Amino acid sequence: MARGTSQGGLVDAIRYDLRRLHDGWMALYFPRQRTGEHSVLGKWTPQSTAGTVAYRSLGALGALVVGLLYPFVLFGFAIRYQTRRIDRTAASLGVLGVVVLSLVVWGALTAVAWRRFSDAGVIAVAASGGVATVAAALAYLTSRFGGRFTTVLFAYPFGMTAIFLPPVVAALYSPALSVVVFPNSESIAVWLLDNVLTYRNVDEYLRSRYDLEGLAYVGMWFGIAVPVGWVVGLFVSLANLVRPKSE
């Protein structure tokens, strides 16, 4: 019985999400769609034949769009849960606390590296800590002193930078890391050039102007971290659109 109740609750939740998404789609073109259920006037409906045809046509198109978007909404729910936990921790620490915590953690790792690794390994860990600390602080500041647009545009890319760049920076100084990071980076770069960056011959421009070596790896991963951060931010924003934080 409990299992049936759980399945019924899941189905109801999915129906609710799909309805909210569809209402949001219709609200782009017609008034009083999402708020119509709570309005004295109710949901707006067309009065003319032409308006009814347009309304139903956009509704059918919206059903297709919603079906395509919903998997991304589910992914956004999962990411939002993790980002909220990180956000609450960062809010309790403040920007100074975030910087101090990062310096303590990376300072401890640098101290361990100083006792166990070569000078190159120590430099690698310290450089990675510097990158992670600056990126984390910028992610915090851009998320606190701005709205949703600023958070998606800046905070998420800086957060991804704090994750992606430290191992790449460390690989510049550590031979042990470089044999892992750089060949895999080259494989990803080739795939991006052959499959993603072929638009308007961007791949040919990059191949003719830049060599993937040294700091170019850092630039490459920063270039990846920024759009990945935007995508993650958009998925979370989509999840917030369907189910706001108050729910």
Domain boundaries, the chain: 70-242
Nearest CA to 236 out of 179, 159, 172, 175 is that of 159
Q: Which one-letter DSSP state was computed for residue 245?
A: T
Q: Which one-letter DSSP state was computed for residue 200?
A: G
DSSP E strand stretches across the chain: none
Q: What is the mean pLDDT of the chain?
A: 86
Q: What is the mean pLDDT of residues 32-40?
A: 64
Is the pTM of the predicted complex or chain greater than 0.85? no
Proportion of the chain above pLDDT 90, given as a percent: 32
b/e map 98-126, b = 16+ CB within 10 Å: bbeebeeebeeebeebeeebeebbbbbbb
Whole-angstrom distance, CA of residue 113 vs CA of residue 104: 14
Distance in angstroms between the alpha carbons of the first and the last residue of the chain:
26
The answer to whether residues 121 and 173 touch, using CB atoms and an 8 Å cutoff, is yes
The 10 Å Cβ neighbour count of residue 69 is 19
Residue 247 has pLDDT above 70, yes or no: no
Q: What digits encode the pLDDT tens for the residues 124-139?
A: 888 888 888 999 999 9
Block residue for tokens 């600390």: 133
**Tokens of residue 67, six digits:** 């079906």
Whole-angstrom distance, CA of residue 166 vs CA of residue 130: 8
Residue 9 has pLDDT above 60, yes or no: yes
Proportion of the chain above pLDDT 70, given as a percent: 92
Dihedrals φ, ψ of 140, to 5°? Answer: -65, -50
The answer to whether residues 169 and 218 touch, using CB atoms and an 8 Å cutoff, is yes
Q: What digits encode the pLDDT tens for the residues 159-210?
A: 999 888 888 888 888 888 889 999 999 999 999 999 988 888 888 998 888 8
Block residue for tokens 């990180």: 86
The answer to whether residues 55 and 46 touch, using CB atoms and an 8 Å cutoff, is yes
